[in-house]
Structure 1
Amino acid sequence: MNNIYLTMLIPAVVSVLGGLLAVFWNPSHHMRSLIQHFAAGVVLAALAVEVLPELGREHAPGWVLIGSFAFGGLVMYAMKLWSIRMELAAKTLSKSEQWNYGLILATFMDVSVDGFIIGAGFAAGANTGLVLALGLSVELLFLGLSLVSETVKGWRVAVITSLLAFVVLAGTFMGYFLLKGASVSSISAILAFGVAALLYLVTDELLIEAHEVEEKPSSTLWLFSGFLVFWSIQLFSA
């Protein structure tokens, strides 16, 4: 049991490390694109090798999975529209006052959902929780880099990522304790919702941001490398 609690700390610790990394390292736009491709591959691997097979093993009713996935997609779409409105509102501020509130608030909401999904994974099984924790930790590690701007940098990024660490940890424990001992259908519904959320993370955040810069053909290899590295770890640790 103690090992599970320690494992739950991984995403929070990684988030803090990501903030410290952003303080001392400001990679080029091309390097950020490569990192985002790699992170997208890792998240896709987490879905393909653990979450979807886990849903198949649980044998939850099909309508529960379909409905939860559809609801997750609608929630992510609503969050997208809301974050766009926040970003447009932020652009009306002067440059000296401008913080990307839309991005920051959307990030906090994303991370809280991610934490709850990780907690649901641990409620489903230690291995599922570990895979989700490791997969999303890669995203959190470089999240601080994506928050860096002219007005949000240095210690501000470190503070924000530390708060994100608290949010993801709170979401993880909340998801675990609320769903621990819950029915198969309940846990499967949350995981199906999580599949939609993670697909949104890959297709509408990581890869779109990665494609904002001119790419080289080798960029695609980083996507497959992220998938392969995570899959290899899962295979050899099984």
Structure 2
Amino acid sequence: MSSAWMYTLIPAAAVVLGAVAAVNIRPGPRIVSAIQHLAAGVVFAAAAGEILPDLMHRNAPVATVVGGGIALAVMLAIKQVEGLVKGPLGLLSMVGVDILIDGLVLGIGFSAGAKAGILLTVALTLEVLFLGLTVANELGESVRSRLAVVGATAALALLLPLGAVLATPVAALPPSIVAGFFAFGLIALLYLVTEELLVEAHQTPDRPWVTAMFFVGFLAILVLEELMS
């Protein structure tokens, strides 16, 4: 668990990679949608296959409701603020909060075990790759310097290890409180899939191969989990 922050360097690198790709290649809407579908499938499988079973075996219904309720309130609040805050600063602020929560969830995942943490690392790497693409695309419309765009996006990536470090004490807490944190992580991930990734992915007309990427990502995590067992 103490080394969980080191694993966040992988998705942090993906954020920078996404930004570099966005300022140099400008991927088309269908490619972006395919990445979103793939990321959604991977995150959904990791959440359902790792965090959910562990949470159910802890037998802490009150902590589950409290942790899940807090996660839902936080994610809905972020959504509301996104609609009010405009411009590059607003975008950076909201994405920064998302990335911080991702780091927190990854740290919580490692408290459930190394396998859960590694699978979540894979899932969140794809998710933040999309965030890097999105931030760089949006900033590129108002910031001319490619270096400045990549630099601002890379700065956001530092919030991933910060979130993991904040989650480090979770493993030492009483089991019922740990269950609450797991519920928080589970709801945050499922909200990300249903209300962020898939909603954004369907902004462009669907093609069968694009839709199939969700299930490709889902099956890939299932296979990886079997290989790690």
Do they superpose with TM above 0.5?
Answer: yes
In the alignment, the residues of structure 1 paired with residue 148 and residue 219 of structure 2 have an alpha-carbon distance, to the nearest angstrom, of 34
Number of the residue aligned with 1:232? 223
Determine if contact 1:84/1:102 at 8 Å carries over to the other structure.
no
2:44 paired residue number: 44
C-alpha deviations, 1:156-178, integer Å up to 9, x for none? Answer: 331122112211111112211x2
Contact 1:22–1:157 (CA<8 Å) still a contact in 2?
no
Q: CA deviation at 1:79?
A: 0.9
Which residue number corresponds to residue 166 of structure 1? 158
Residue from 187, 193, 212 that aligns with 1:221 = 212
CA–CA separation in structure 2 for the residues paired with 1:27 and 1:76: 28
Is residue 14–residue 132 contact of structure 2 (8 Å, CA) maintained in 1?
no
What is the CA–CA distance in structure 2 between the aligned matches of 1:108 and 1:2, rounded to whole Å? 23
Q: Aligned residue for 1:11?
A: 11
2:137 aligned with 1:138 = no
| Equivalent residue number for residue 76 of structure 1 | 75
Unaligned runs of 5+ in 1: 91-98
Query: How do 1:82-101 and structure 2 match up within 5 A?
Result: 82-87=81-86, 90=87, 99=88, 101=89
TM-score when normalising by structure 1: 0.86
In the alignment, the residues of structure 1 paired with residue 154 and residue 70 of structure 2 have an alpha-carbon distance, to the nearest angstrom, of: 30
Change (3 A) 1:111 1:6: closer
User: Residues of 1 paired with 2:85 and 2:2: CA distance?
Assistant: 41
Could you say which residue in structure 1 is the equivalent of 2:195? 204
1:72/1:5 Cα in 2 relative to 1: closer, same or farther (>3 Å)?
Answer: closer
Matching residue's letter, 2:213:
W
Q: Residue deviations 1:100-131, cap 9 Å, x none?
A: x3332111001111111111122232222222
Partner of 2:111: 123
1:27: which partner in 2? Answer: 27
Residue 53 (structure 1) aligns with: 53
Alpha-carbon contact 1:33-1:213 (below 8 Å) kept:
yes
Root-mean-square deviation (CA, aligned residues, Å) is: 2.0
Q: In the alignment, which of 170, 175, 179 is matched to residue 170 of structure 2?
A: 179
Asked if the contact 2:71–2:187 (Cα under 8 Å) also holds between the matched residues in 1, the reply is yes
Distance 1:10 1:83 in 2: 27
**Aligned position for 2:179:** 188
Q: In the TM superposition, what is the alpha-carbon distance from 1:34 to its structure 2 partner? A: 1.1
- Match in the other structure for 1:95: none
Structure 1's consecutive aligned runs of 4 or more residues displaced over 4 angstroms after TM superposition are: 1-5
Distance 1:18 1:171 in 2: 20
Relative to structure 1, is the Cα distance of residues 79 and 237 closer, same or farther in structure 2, using a 3 angstrom cutoff?
same
Tell me the amino acid that sits aligned with residue 7 of structure 1. Y
Q: CA deviation at 1:155?
A: 2.2
